[in-house]
Amino acid sequence: MPPAKRRKSRPAPPPPEPASDGRTLSGVPLKLLYTHGDLKNLEYPRDLGFPGEPPFTRGVYPTMYRGRLWTMREYAGFGSAEESNARYRYLLDHGTTGLSVAFDLPTQMGYDPDDPFVRGEVGKVGVPVSTIEDMGMLFKGIPLGEVSTSMTINATASILLALYVAAGEARGVPRRDLRGTVQNDILKEYIARSTYIYPPEPSMRLAVDIIEFCAREMPRWNAISVSGYHIREAGATAAQEVGFTLANGIAYVEACVERGLKADDIARQISFFFCAQSDVLEEVAKFRAARRLWSRIMGERFKARAPESLALRFHVQTAGVSLTAQQPENNVVRVAYQALAAVLGGAQSLHTNSMDEALGLPSEKAVRLALRTQQWLAHESGVANTVDPLGGSFYVEALTKELEEEAAGLIDRIDGMGGTLKAIEAGWVQREIAESAYRFQREVEDGKRTIVGVNRFRSDEAVPPKPQKVDPRLEREQVARVKAFRAKRSAKVAKHALAAVREAAALEGNLVPVILDAVKAKATLGEISGAMREIFGGYRARSEV
């Protein structure tokens, strides 16, 4: 018989690709299976507690979303007060239940729009607000006594709060009835964002001034929103986000106590702001861990006695850094699952990013879809039907415990350095975040981390639609407006009010009432900020970390 023909060999098929590399987004190694035995120091389920009771692992309210849904916000502000007002009214018409104001960089940094230093930046990444007229126009036709307003502002938070109070009182809404939040978290600016003006010490004084003022005169207002969002966006891991954010919170409470305020008097006006990244179950565990750790901090370190003083209430924004310009439709999916993590984790307030934000300002269609995502979660998904729906999961409970312990370890290290301010001044916090960001980016570039549509599953597609842009004409109009505002006021009254700001800054009293008098005297944001800069000086960051 002739020899059998040798079959042409085919290359062996590649081994099946693993569904996961067995780590969370932040790199926490995961077991294949979690069981009761992994909860070694937890007498499950007793030590989980109950929602609405310390340590609040399962939520800060007994009924959570069965009693009241989270506040649905969409972060907005651009161009001018008129354009931003139109967007706010559009959002309210479509069902948003709270407003969230983005201010432009000049406003954040304490400059009026006619300052040559900020030419070209007016209205670009938020709304310019320099005067009481601007603030009045921003909320024209919006009932300030009924709507909760969140303002993302830090270095100039005292001035924007004063402008908001003045605008409300001009409409007959007393300050005690105003509801909302001013971010007022200056420490994270030195860590992750850099929109600071003054050195840390006077900046902390201003933050505490706001907390003290609100505790006494604005009982429905959150005087500070300690932000982990920007820390996470800068590249921190989940545990670093919790650890560094709560360390900042500790610094604010310590400063208040040194002022003579009691923890129970201010605790309910302290809120937090976290990021919702893409690893859904890690984010759920992170939120639960943050609540449990803060409850212990307030009770053990600050001796707070009222149960509500131990509760960590927080706003969440989906991860802007995760949005991609490639295949922007994928961002709809990213945002939806990140929002799911926030809801499963028990957020009190939520902003969902728009699919086109990696390209430019969100369009009306995109921002409406982002809002509809929240509404779908609330009314169709079923996740709001029960409290802490993932509570008791072996995996979630074990990861909650692990993240809590790692975050607590970071706080211990900061304590050992002498506190948050010392750790920031030494550059340690910044270095830790930078190293985490570098590791993650290398994993993406090496293909160890998949970003759908970017480093895998790419496709040729049409050029995305042109994003919405700010008309340069609006900057010229804003410059003319602030000049006209100064021209028609009493220069003598404004000058006297600014002198009072300088005098108060040089002393030790609370600056907020003096700033409120100044905005009512028609001093501008840039003038008030400049008056304080003359006394406090400016701050220049370290050139290296």
One-character DSSP codes across 301-347:
IS---SGGGG---EEEEE-GGG--SSSTTHHHHHHHHHHHHHHHTT-
The DSSP output letter for 103 is: B
Q: Which CATH superfamily is domain 39-68+225-457 in?
A: Methylmalonyl-CoA mutase (3.20.20.240)
How far apart are alpha carbons 416 and 473 in whole angstroms?
53
Question: If you write DSSP's letter for every residue of 1-46 in order, what string do you get?
Answer: -PPPPPPPP-PPPPPPPPS--SB-TT--B--S---GGG-TT--TTG
- Supply the pLDDT for residue 30: 81
- Supply the pLDDT for residue 470: 77
- Supply the pLDDT for residue 417: 97
- Supply the pLDDT for residue 471: 82
Q: Domain locations in the chain?
A: 39-68+225-457, 487-536
Of 317, 284, 371, 464, nearest in space to 92 by CA: 371
- Supply the pLDDT for residue 19: 53
pLDDT, one tens digit for every residue, the chain (545 residues): 444 444 444 455 555 555 556 788 898 888 877 777 777 676 656 568 889 999 999 999 999 999 999 999 999 999 999 999 999 999 999 999 999 999 999 999 999 999 999 999 999 999 999 999 999 999 999 999 999 999 999 999 999 999 999 999 999 999 999 999 999 999 999 999 899 999 999 999 999 999 999 999 999 999 999 999 999 999 999 999 999 999 999 999 999 999 999 999 999 999 999 999 999 999 999 999 999 999 999 999 999 999 999 999 999 999 999 999 999 999 999 999 999 999 999 999 999 999 999 998 899 999 999 999 999 999 999 999 999 999 989 999 999 999 999 999 999 999 999 999 999 999 999 999 999 999 999 999 999 999 999 999 998 876 666 677 778 888 999 999 999 999 999 999 999 999 999 999 999 999 999 999 999 999 999 999 999 999 999 998 765 54
199 and 209 Cβ atoms separated by less than 8 Å = no
Gap between the terminal Cα atoms of the chain: 79
125: how many CB neighbours lie within 10 A of its CB? Answer: 16
Q: Could you tell me the two tokens for 89?
A: 């009214």
One-letter identity of residue 503: E
Vertex 29 angle, CA 283 and 48, to 5° = 50
Please return the burial class of 506, using the count of CB atoms within 10 Å of its CB with bins 0-12, 13-18 and 19+: exposed
- Supply the pLDDT for residue 5: 47
**What three-state secondary structure class fits 123?**
coil
- Supply the pLDDT for residue 462: 65
How far apart are alpha carbons 352 and 367 in whole angstroms?
8
Q: Dihedral angle at the C-alpha atoms of 341, 345, 350, 356, nearest 10 degrees?
A: -10
- Supply the pLDDT for residue 154: 97
Place of tokens 């939806």: 336
**362 half-sphere exposure, CB direction, 13 A CA radius:** 26
One-letter identity of residue 108: Q
